[in-house]
Structure 1
Amino acid sequence: MNITVRYFASIREAMGTGSEALQTSATTVGALREALMARSPAAAAALAPCKAVRMALNQDLCQGDAPLKAGDEVAFFPPVTGG
């Protein structure tokens, strides 16, 4: 299925792009994260399970078990702090 993936902040820097269209067989957001981590050492470091990474599916925060369908938009970003 085709989906759009967006990356923000330090994850964007590590991935080398702000967004991309992907063909994937991943069925959940967590499986997509694992597939992306397998692409390069930089991606593995940026999206590692030990890292605090927020995920959103179609602009709603989600967990790794959120199901994917064709046409979805998934975003990965670090937690935001402010003050």
Structure 2
Amino acid sequence: MELTVRLFALYRERAGTKEFSLELPSGATVSDLTDAVRVRFPRLAPPEVKIVVAVNADYAESDEVLKPGDDVCLIPPVSGG
């Protein structure tokens, strides 16, 4: 299945794009997606940083199964004070 993945803030800057298409096998999970994203954009986030994923405007767990047409967004960690 082909998904469009949108990037925000720091992730957008590091990847050099605000969105991209990603081909994943049917039945792929959020974890499969983040693994594929790390291969495509190795500088996106260090291995120890969990990439937060929203699917259809809700935060997604790593074992959530993705479906064609899902709205997928990657949200970088936020810090502030």
Aligned residues: 80
SS in structure 1 at match of 2:49:
coil
The one-letter code matched in structure 2 to 1:35 is A
21-30 vs 6-15, which moves further: 21-30
Unaligned runs of 5+ in 1: none
Alpha-carbon separation, structure 2, partners of 1:62 and 1:74:
9
Aligned residues with identical type, % of pairs:
39
Give unmatched runs, 5+ long, in structure 2.
Answer: none
Q: 1:53 to 1:9 in 2, by over 3 A?
A: same
Residue in 2 aligned with 1:36? 37
Please, what TM-score do these two structures have when normalized by structure 1?
Answer: 0.79
State the Cα deviation string for residues 16-67 of structure 1 (Å, max 9, x = none): 111123322260111011011112xxx2232344114321011101121111
Give the 3 Å change call, closer, same or farther, for CA 74–47 of structure 1 in structure 2. Answer: farther
- Within 5 Å, which residues of 2 pair with 1:13-52? 13-25=13-25, 27-39=28-40, 43-52=41-50
Question: What's the TM-score once normalised by structure 2's chain length?
Answer: 0.81
Quick one: distance in 2 between partners of 1:46 and 1:22?
15
Q: Which moved more, 1:67-76 or 1:51-60?
A: 51-60
Structure that is richer in helix per residue: 1
2:72 to 53, 71, 74: 74
